[in-house]
Structure 1
Amino acid sequence: MSNRHSQAAKSAARERIRAERERQKKQEKTRRQLLVAGAVVGVLAVAGGIGFGIMKLTEPTGWAAAAEAKLVKPAHTQGRNGTEILIGDPKAKETLEVFEDIRCPACAGFEQTSGPDLLKDLKEGRFKVRYTMYSFIDTMGAGGEGSKNALSALGAALNVSPDAFLKYKTALYSAKNHPDEREDLYAKDSVLLKVAAEVPELKGNKEFEKAVKEGTYDRWTMEMTALFGRKGVKGTPTFFHGDKKLVMDRIPQRQMTQAEYNKISQNNFRKMIDKEFGPAKGIQKGEKDPSAGGKGIQKGEKDPTAGN
C-alpha cells in the first residue's frame, strides 16, 4: 500500500472514531438532560412528555395566571371586556365617572361621608354613574392582593345585581369593615364573604360564594385594573363629568372632630356636584339646601366651616 493510501485510510479511520465519540458524547449529554428533566418533573418520560412537564413548571401562577385565564364578564357590565360598570336610570342624561380602589383609605373616607349623597342622586336619576375600579395599592409599598381580590368579589356581586354591587361596595368601605391599607385583609376570601353576609342579596348566595372562592372574575379584574391611567387618573377617589375633572374644595388643615371633618367633606362633595349638575331635585336655583352646613349655626354651636 502506498504511503498516500495509508494516510488516507488512517485519516478516514480517525474521522470514523471522532464521529463515533461525538455521537457517544451527544448520547451521554442527552441522557443527562433526560435524567435532570426527569428529576424535575418527577418521572422519566419521552422527550415530548418532559417538554410538557418543564413548560408546566414555568407557567404563571396567581394573578399572573389570572391575566391569561378565560374571561368571564359579570352580568350588568358593558364594553368589549365588560369593563364598563354603568349604573343608574337609563333616562338620566348625564354620567358621573367615579374612580376608586377598594383598599384606598381616602376612598373609604369619601364613601363613609358622601357615599349616601351620591347614591341618593343616582337613585333619583340626577345622573348615571360609571365606576372604574383600580388595584394600584396592591403594587405600592405595602404590596398585597386585597384590591384585586375584593374587586373580583365585587364582580361576583355585580353579577347578582347592580344593587348588590353598590351595597357590597358600601359595606367594604364602611368604618366597621375597611382595614388599614397596610393590612391586606381583603386578600382573604373568608373576610370578603364575612362582609358580604351584611348584604341581603349576597348572604347565603351559593353562586356568589362559589364565584368568590373560585376566582371566577379574576380575569375580569385584571382587565379592569389594566384601565389604570385612563383619563390620566393615577389616584383615587377621582371624579369626571365627560372629559372634565371635578375638584372638591380642600378640607382646612386644622384640628377638628371626626363629625366636623365628615360634615365639611359632605358639604364639599355637594358643592362640587351642585356646581356641575345644577341644584338637586326639589331645590330651586338660588335656594339653600336645608341639609347643608355652613350658615345657620345655632347660638353657642361651633361653625365647622370657620377658620382657626
Structure 2
Amino acid sequence: MSSRNSQANKAAARERLRAEREAQAKKDKVRRQLVVGGAVLAVLAIAGGIGYAVVQSSKPGYWENAAKADLIKPKNTEGEDGTTVVVGKPEAKKTLELYEDSRCPACASFEQAVGGQVKKDVDAGKYKLRYFGATFIDNAVKGEGSKNALSALGAALNVSPEAFLDYKAALYSKELHPEETVDSFAKDAYLLKVADTVPALKGNAEFKKAVEDGTYDRWALTMSDAFGKSGVTGTPTLKMDGKKIETPGTADAFTAAIDKALAG
C-alpha cells in the first residue's frame, strides 16, 4: 500500500469517527432535552395538582353551605327559628325534655327500652315531650349522619308530630340503628329505607323530596346549635321542667323516675 493510500484511509477513518461522535452528541443532547422537558412537565403537573388540592380544600363543604342557606322551619315547631319541638297534649302541665343524637348508641338503647313507654305517656297526656337534636357524634367519629338524620326528622315533623315520634323510634330500632362508627344515616337512601317502616312516611312523596333535597338541613344545624347552647354535654339526657333525671335503663325504672319528678 502506498503512503498516499495509507494517509487517505487514515483521514477517512478520522472523518467517520468525527461524524459518529457528532451524531452521538446530537442524540445525547436530544435525550437530555427530553429528560429535562419531562421533569419540567412532572413538576408542573405536581404543582398543578397541589394547586388544585389547595383550591378544593379551601372550598366550603356541603354543610358549610347549608349553614348559609335560607332557614325553612318544619310545621309543628315553635320559636323564631323553629327549634322548639314540643309533642303532646296542650293541657299536660309538665314537660319532659329529651336530648338525643341520632347516631348515639346509648340513645338507641334508651329508645329501645323506654321509647314505647314515653310515647304512651305522651299520648295519655301525662306530660309533653320537648325534643333537642344533637349532631356532635359527626365531629367525634367523623361523618354526616347525625346532621342528615336530624334533617330527615325535620321532614317527618313537617308531616305530623306522630310521624316524627314513629320515625325517631324507627331510626333507633335494633334492626335499623347502625354502629356508631358506621355512618349509614349519611345516605338519603338509608333514611328513606327506615322511613318505609313508618306508615305515615312510606310512599310519602313530599317527605321523600324533603329528604333528598335537604330542605331542612339548615334547620338541623340550627337545632344542633340550640342543643349546644343548652349546656347539656351528653346524650341521652332527660330533664323534667329543667331538672335532670338520671337516665333509666328499663321502662319500670323510667316510670318510677318520672312519677317522682312529676310529684316533685
Same fold by TM-score, threshold 0.5 exceeded? yes
Unaligned runs of 5+ in 2: 1-47, 49-54
SS of the residue aligned with 2:60? coil
Give 1:156's aligned residue.
155
| RMSD (Å) for aligned C-alpha atoms | 2.1
Question: Relative to structure 1, is the Cα distance of residues 208 and 248 closer, same or farther in structure 2, using a 3 angstrom cutoff?
Answer: closer
Give 1:214's aligned residue.
213
Give how far 1:278 is off. 4.0
Q: Which amino acid aligns with 1:228?
A: F
* 8 Å Cα contact 2:238-2:247 kept in structure 1: no
- How do 1:142-153 residues align onto structure 2 when only pairs under 5 Å count? 142-153=141-152
Query: Take 1:177 and 1:131, find their aligned partners in 2: how far apart are those partners?
Result: 21
Q: Which of 235, 254, 260 is equivalent to 1:269?
A: 254
**Equivalent residue pairs, number:** 212
Residues 140-172 of structure 1: CA deviation (Å, up to 9, x unaligned): 0x2100000001011001000001100000000
Counterpart check, 1:184 vs 2:217 = no
* 8 Å Cα contact 1:133-1:225 kept in structure 2: yes
Q: Give the TM-score normalised by structure 1.
A: 0.65
Give 1:77's aligned residue.
77
- How do 1:194-273 residues align onto structure 2 when only pairs under 5 Å count? 194-248=193-247, 265-273=250-258
Give how far 1:62 is off. 0.5
Query: Take 1:57 and 1:146, find their aligned partners in 2: how far apart are those partners?
Result: 21
Give 1:64's aligned residue.
64
Query: Take 2:247 and 2:168, find their aligned partners in 1: how far apart are those partners?
Result: 22
Query: Take 2:144 and 2:59, find their aligned partners in 1: how far apart are those partners?
Result: 20
Give how far 1:57 is off. 10
Could you say which structure has the higher helix fraction?
2
Query: Take 1:118 and 1:78, find their aligned partners in 2: how far apart are those partners?
Result: 21
Question: Relative to structure 1, is the Cα distance of residues 96 and 56 closer, same or farther in structure 2, using a 3 angstrom cutoff?
Answer: same
Give how far 1:244 is off. 1.1
SS of the residue aligned with 1:228? helix
Give 2:129's aligned residue.
129
* 8 Å Cα contact 2:76-2:85 kept in structure 1: yes
Question: Relative to structure 1, is the Cα distance of residues 57 and 70 closer, same or farther in structure 2, using a 3 angstrom cutoff?
Answer: farther
Give how far 1:268 is off. 2.1
Query: Take 1:164 and 1:196, find their aligned partners in 2: how far apart are those partners?
Result: 9
Seq. identity, %: 53
